[in-house]
Chains A and B, each alone.
Chain A
Amino acid sequence: MAKASEKLAELVGRMPEPDGKGMYCADIDKDKIEGAIAEIHKGGRENILGVIDMLVEPGKGDDVKAHYALHCLGLHVCNINDRRGRRRFGATLASQLGGDRPKGVQAYLIQELQSFGGRETVEKLKALAGNKALAQPVAMALEAIRGGG
């Protein structure tokens, strides 16, 4: 387990460093990013959860690489047309909602479901519709998933 976490941390570490302005404008290596993401994808649900564990509430630390890596994973499962992988990605993100993860992290997971989530995530999202901190991103995600957006 520890070995897997080290490996995952190394793969996430291959995501680009922000440049001097905090932007992704220097040393952006497409092949390096996509190679690392493909490796992370092979680790399945465990790796998705591992990346989510690296996310932090905005203002509470540095999660730039994990934040980007999670989005790249969503892009990857869609781009390789891996339907099972995509459902697993959505279901894994949805499974982390409603618990004690920071609200800022949950809001980011919901945002990712707005992009990549399928119908398997709808019930979990609906359950959060009354949550004051998350209701707005939940409504937007549901609209996108149901085809309104």
Chain B
Amino acid sequence: MAEGKRVTRRGFIKGSLGAAAAFTIVPRHVLGGAGNTAPSEKFGAALIGCGGRGNGTFGGLGPNVEKLAICDVKFLKKADNKTIYSDFRRLLERKDIDMVAIATPPHWHALISIAAMEAGKDVLCEKPMTRFIAEGRAIVNAAKRYKRIFQVGTYGRFGASKDKNKILTHKIMASGLLKNCKAVHRKRGGLKVQQWSGIVNAQPHPIPDSLDWDMYCGPSPLRPYHPHRFGGSHRGYWDYEGGGLTDMGQHHYDPVQWEFAKDYTSPVEIEAYAPPAHPEACAMWGWVELKYADGLTFTFESNEWGKPYDRKEDRGVSLSDLSEADQRKIKDMPDPKPLVSFPEAVRTRKEPGGHAEAAHHSATLMHLANMAIRTGRKLRYDPVKEQIIGNEEANRLVNIPMRAPWHL
């Protein structure tokens, strides 16, 4: 104890509570000791959502994990609540599980991620991170509140952060020296628009005995069962995802967002060219243009419907966009620190490369694009308040009400 410092009763209690709180947020695998695994050994892990992306997402947890349990709403008949679960809440009660991989359809990502972090688990969540913007902010807040590691399951930014040219772009954009950015990044095709469209004339089918359909629908409306709403093709319905745009968009734009140093902000103007959207099924659209406050423009171009985008050509940023004095400043800037992988983040408690805030902003790109498609209007967005300006119908898509009892 420092000389001259007196310990009051109140101070002692406060300090003890702080120590207890600190103890509870350090995972057992970091502490080691009797009955617990040490850092050099394996982490207890679980997979929630055992469809097509399940094993791939689980693999991202790293080499030192032991799969202790799996969970899926299709395990209604074979769930033993020991190694196989159909309700994620039962699985999250287990103290021997340190981390979870979440590969459910996206309408469950936010609620399960938040519940897992509240239960003290680190989370690796399949992309797209969320179904709507407010879910992303809730995940960011939960990761901070519970001091958990959250990483989204897309890894392109790790490669981008090692590319010399992309590092230069990152430094120019992060410097704030480029006041009027003329850069345009166009994503042409590869967004699986037809592939992940929904059926508009689906008729109700009997629910399979093994499937907990109510739990599958969860926070989304309880619809009549149809097999196309389940098992991968769920991507074609607004209830669960947002079509090929959200399925592929975060893969593409998450590294681009890092390159252009936009991990902490979002576009301010969004305009789409599309036919009127269907209320439930994702369908065709032509292109979406998203502009940041500094002028940087991103596009999504389907190449599957309508007239092609012809407003702007691709254009990067370069040192020659800056004055000679500013060019010298960029050359003197240190390179950004290497991004931390999920396994390293779990071990060291450092922020992972695809952390919640960055992932929330890259998911927001797709959500804004889909909101412009769904409303048919040019949107203005406030990236600080995370609200659409002057458009009530579009704002209703920022924070979509959930079906009771589920809520953010």
Contact = CB atoms under 8 A, between A and B. Distances in A.
Nearest to A118: B392
Contacts, number: 104
Interface stretch (A2-10, A46-54, A93-101, A132-140): A132-140
B18 interface: no
A75 interface: yes
Interface in A67-89: 67-68, 71-72, 75-76, 78-79
A133 to B, nearest CB: 10
Contacts of A22: 199-202
Size bracket of the B interface: 35 or more
B197 A24 contact: yes
B367 to A, nearest CB: 14
A28 B305 contact: yes
Given A116-B393, A140-B403, A58 B224 contact: yes
B174 to A, nearest CB: 35
Given A58-B204, A58-B224, A62-B201, A30 B276 contact: yes
Nearest to A64: B201
A28 B275 CA distance: 7
Contacts of A76: 276
A39 interface: no
B377 interface: yes
A9 to B, nearest CB: 18
A57 to B, nearest CB: 10
B281 A115 contact: no
B404 A136 contact: yes
A75 B199 contact: no
Contacts of A116: 393
Contacts of A149: 396, 399-401
Most chain B beta-carbon neighbours within 10 Å: one of A29, A67, A112:
A67
A1 interface: no
B203 A59 contact: yes
Contacts of A92: none
Given A59-B204, A64-B200, A140 B283 contact: no
Interface string B186-219: 0000000110011111111000000000000000
Interface in B141-169: none
Given A58-B203, A148-B399, 8 more contacts: A23-B197, A23-B200, A30-B276, A34-B276, A76-B276, A136-B222, A136-B403, A149-B401
Interface of B: 193-194, 197-204, 221-222, 224, 236, 274-279, 281, 283-284, 305-306, 375-377, 393, 396, 399-404
In the A-B complex, the 9 residue pairs with the smallest Cβ-Cβ separation, listed nearest first, are A149-B401, A143-B401, A24-B283, A30-B275, A22-B199, A140-B401, A71-B279, A72-B276, A59-B204
